[in-house]
Amino acid sequence: MQLTILSIESSCDETAVSIIKALKDDQGNITKINILAHEVESQNESHAPFGGVVPEVAARDHLAKIYDITNTALTKAKIKNSELNAIAVTMGPGLIGALMVGVLFARGLALSLQIPLISVNHVDAHLAPALLLKKFTPKNDINIWHETQKISFPALALTVSGGHCHLSLLKSIQEKTILGKSLDDACGEAFDKVAKLLGLNYPGGPFIEVLAKEAELKGNTNEFSFPSKPSNKENRYNFSYSGIKTAVMEVIRKETGIKKGKITGKDLSIEKKQSIAYAFQQAAINQLYDRVENALKDNPEIQTILIAGGVAQNLKFREIFSSINKQVIFAPPSLCSDNATMIGLQALLNSNQNGFNDHPYAKYF
């Protein structure tokens, strides 16, 4: 069976539309995937002056762009509307105004084309590229048939993004149990907040990574160290990042002598910023590693580790996790940050043997 889906993502600060084709065998397994269009427009520039995402700005930006981006995706995919089998859309979690733009647009499309509307959970969808695709670069892999991944289960899945930090156990693609979540800030959020304290741009993760690399190249890796584990010892799987962020703030106050008020990083030398970025990044990654180690100790039957989400683009993170003595599968870097291809892939994973169940009103929204 061949299925073609147009998918929409608008839960936060990326407006994205993708069109994918997939082949399913008689058992309902997805065997091949072809990404015909992968359009992502980031709102980073709109939110950068505020140092974080402003919900009202995000919703207005989606509204301004979603029609044109969809049109571009349809033109690039060179398919007729009648070839689409379903529309898939992120139904949550996310910013309510931002989600509403995507969901209502998707409803209108599904209604006018008289095809099913599939509502997709955004956090589940982050994992879908790791479950299905060995590689994908928007430059080289558009309109190419990809064989799907062969995953050995049970698998441990770590999703680390700006809004979420989830550790889950998967007995199969469909059977997922969440082991741990963030008790306060998500890991990516902590990268963004620490970046703001250091006077770096939004989103801060990539800038922290660059500074940390510079510290490493200069050998400045021992000047600071931050606590990597949450103080609550009872839970072996949950995450907590607000403590590390506060520790960074205290170090900056000490280094700059600014006892009260806003910290902007402008009184820190570049060397200090590099050393702090390095120590923070190590602590942030060590906490993720520690939680994964606990899960592996408690569940020795785990065969595979799946890693996804915006933070999974970090090369230090990839290097450290690659050393684990299991099959470690990272989502392709271009599908780690928010995009609509992951929404289409998750819709495929949610589909049954005969295709899609109709959710004409994205009823879980």
Q: Which of 93, 97, 199, 206 binds ligand KG4 (CB under 6 A)?
A: 206
Residue 161 beta carbon to Zn ion: minimum distance, rounded to whole angstroms: 4
Decide which of Zn ion, ligand KG4, none touches 116; Cβ closer than 5 to 8 Å per partner kind: none
DSSP string, 134-172: S---TTT-TT-EEEBP-PPSSEEEEEE-SS-EEEEEESS
Q: Which of 3, 6, 8, 12 binds ligand KG4 (CB under 6 A)?
A: 12
- Footprint (CB under 6 A) of ligand KG4, residues 124-183: 161-163
Nearer to ligand KG4, 21 or 166 (CB): 166
For Zn ion, the binding residues (CB under 5 A) are: 161, 338
Residue 204, classed as helix, strand or coil, is: coil
Q: Is residue 39 within 8 Å of residue 18, measured between CB atoms? A: yes
Residue 102 interacts with ligand KG4 (CB under 6 A)?
no
Site map (CB under 6 A) of ligand KG4, residues 291-310, x = contact:
------------------xx
Residue 316 beta carbon to ligand KG4: minimum distance, rounded to whole angstroms: 8
Residue 146, classed as helix, strand or coil, is: strand
Residue 15 interacts with ligand KG4 (CB under 6 A)?
no
Q: Helices H, strands E: what count in the chain? A: 10, 11
Q: Is 163 annotated as a binding residue?
A: yes
Paired tokens of 284 = 């942030």
Q: How many CB atoms neighbour CB 288 within 10 A?
A: 22
- Footprint (CB under 6 A) of ligand KG4, residues 331-350: 337-338
Residue 90 beta carbon to Zn ion: minimum distance, rounded to whole angstroms: 9
Q: How many CB atoms neighbour CB 205 within 10 A?
A: 28
Angle at 53 between CA 52 and CA 56, to 5 degrees: 140
Paired tokens of 346 = 């998750």
Residue 338 beta carbon to Zn ion: minimum distance, rounded to whole angstroms: 4
Q: Is 194 annotated as a binding residue?
A: no
Q: Is 205 annotated as a binding residue?
A: yes
Nearer to Zn ion, 131 or 211 (CB): 131
CA–CA gap between residue 137 and residue 135 (Å, rounded):
7
Paired tokens of 219 = 């050998």
Q: Which stretch binds ligand KG4 (CB under 6 A): 83-91, 186-194, 243-251, 346-354?
A: 186-194
Q: How many CB atoms neighbour CB 96 within 10 A?
A: 12
Q: Which of 203, 243, 332, 344 binds ligand KG4 (CB under 6 A)?
A: 203
CA–CA gap between residue 7 and residue 360 (Å, rounded):
15
Q: Is 204 annotated as a binding residue?
A: no
Backbone angles phi, psi at 189, to 5 degrees: -60, -40
Name the DSSP class of 27.
T
Residue 204 interacts with ligand KG4 (CB under 6 A)?
yes
Residue 313 interacts with ligand KG4 (CB under 6 A)?
yes
Q: Which of 102, 129, 180, 188 binds ligand KG4 (CB under 6 A)?
A: 188
**How are beta strands 2-9 and 86-92 bridged, if at all?**
parallel
216 contacts: CB under 8 Å, gap ≥ 6: 278
Residue 88, classed as helix, strand or coil, is: strand
Query: Where does this chain bind ligand KG4 (CB under 6 A)?
Result: 12, 161-163, 188-189, 191-192, 203-206, 209, 309-311, 313-314, 337-338
Annotated binding site: 122, 126, 159-163, 192, 205, 209, 314, 338
Annotated binding site for substrate: 159-163, 192, 205, 209, 314
